[in-house]
Amino acid sequence: MNSILSRPARRATGSDGERGLALLVVLWIIASAALLVSAFNATVRSGVAVASSELQLARVEGLLDAGAEIAATRLIDEEATRRWAADGKQHRVSFAGAEIAISIDDPNGLVDLNKADKELLLGLLRQFARSEQNANRVRDRILAARGEPRSANEMEASTAGRGVGGEAAASNRARSYAFIDVAQLRRIEGVDLDLYRQIAPFLTVYGRDGRINPSVAPVQVLASIPGLTTADVERLRVASRARQPNHAALSGLAQRAGAYLGDVPGPAYVVSVVAAPAGGYRAGKSFVLVTGLDADAPYRLIAIRPLALRD
């Protein structure tokens, strides 16, 4: 009798357990589905953000390239009134709904690591090196990297030891060790990061022949020219940058520093382009263009690098 009465209670308990398990399974499925939907939404949002960033990046890159093309067109424009001078002046251009800032610099206003006279190199290093000895040491190592003798004795030994074919071998050595980027100066022993940061803005590897164009050269570069006093540097700077240069003032200085001066710009030019599209981010690039290199193209692009922007 007791066992008979207890059977329905056991069946009810088993049924409740099954319903509870089924509820847990349903809740687990719902939670899993919600998690999958949430993950899918996050993936979609992330994909949209990536696509949007890629589109913005592509647009900025296109604007920067367009700025370089505009600068090249202005450099070689046959109409003198439309031509832009390589004087570092910033030009603002509206293009494709964005503003582009373009400036063109003549690297002949800087000291060329490959072509500058050894006294000119020393004059620049003296302004920033800790001592005269260190300036001489770094200058000599730069000359050695260029494959050039550092002293009169070395020059005589180098000339005497060349023999047949020696000139070509010496020329090949110089080309092998030539600087192709100012950043290579960091490899020179004695050029620490502090010294490099001080002298790098006044150096280039794109000069015409190693002479300085005084109309675009900073004071620190003009002060590197041997034989010029501080007063001479100021007179040279003022006279060469005037709209109507004072040739009388320049002629006196040219007698002492003429071998280090040249007023022909190019053929290489450094073009700085900054683009700021609406709703996007600012970006900049530096382009090195060479004009008149050959008859097959009006200009050649020989280097591109990111441009550090200041707020």
Reported as a single tens digit per residue, the pLDDT across 93-107 is 988 888 899 999 999
Higher pLDDT, 167 or 203: 203
176 pLDDT band, cuts 50/70/90, is: very low
In angstroms, the Cα distances linking 232 to 111, 199, 238, 241 are 19, 22, 10, 14
Q: Which residue has the higher pLDDT, 35 or 186?
A: 186
Q: Is residue 299 helix, strand or coil?
A: strand
Q: What is the pLDDT of residue 202?
A: 96
Average pLDDT over residues 180-191: 92
Range with the largest mean pLDDT of 15-29, 247-261, 262-276: 262-276
CA distance to 43, 67, 183, 214, 292, per residue, from 269 (Å): 46, 14, 18, 16, 12
Give the C-alpha separation, 145 to 180, whole Å: 12
Residue type, 293: L
Other C-beta atoms lying within 10 Å of the C-beta of residue 58: 10
Q: Which two tokens stand for residue 235?
A: 């007179």
Q: CATH 3.30.1300.30 in the chain: give the residue spans.
A: 1-106+265-311
Domain 1-106+265-311 sits in CATH 3.30.1300.30: yes
DSSP 95: E
Alpha-carbon distance values, 242 to 77, 213, 214, 249, 250 (Å): 24, 14, 11, 12, 11
DSSP assignment letter at 110 = S
Residue 233: partners with Cβ closer than 8 Å, 6 or more residues away? 219, 222, 223, 225
What gap in Å lies between CA 24 and CA 13, rounded to an integer?
17
Residue 67 has pLDDT above 80, yes or no: yes
What does the pLDDT read at residue 269? 95
The C-alpha angle with vertex 227 and arms to 221 and 233, in degrees rounded to 5, equals: 45
Of the candidate ranges 127-136, 202-211, 278-287, the one whose mean pLDDT is the lowest: 278-287
H/E stretch holding 303 reads strand 297-306
pLDDT for the residue 149: 65
Classify residue 49 by burial, with Cβ atoms within 10 Å: 0-12, 13-18, 19+.
Answer: exposed
**What pLDDT is stored for residue 45 in this prediction?**
64
- CA–CA gap between residue 102 and residue 88 (Å, rounded): 9
More confident residue, 244 or 92: 92
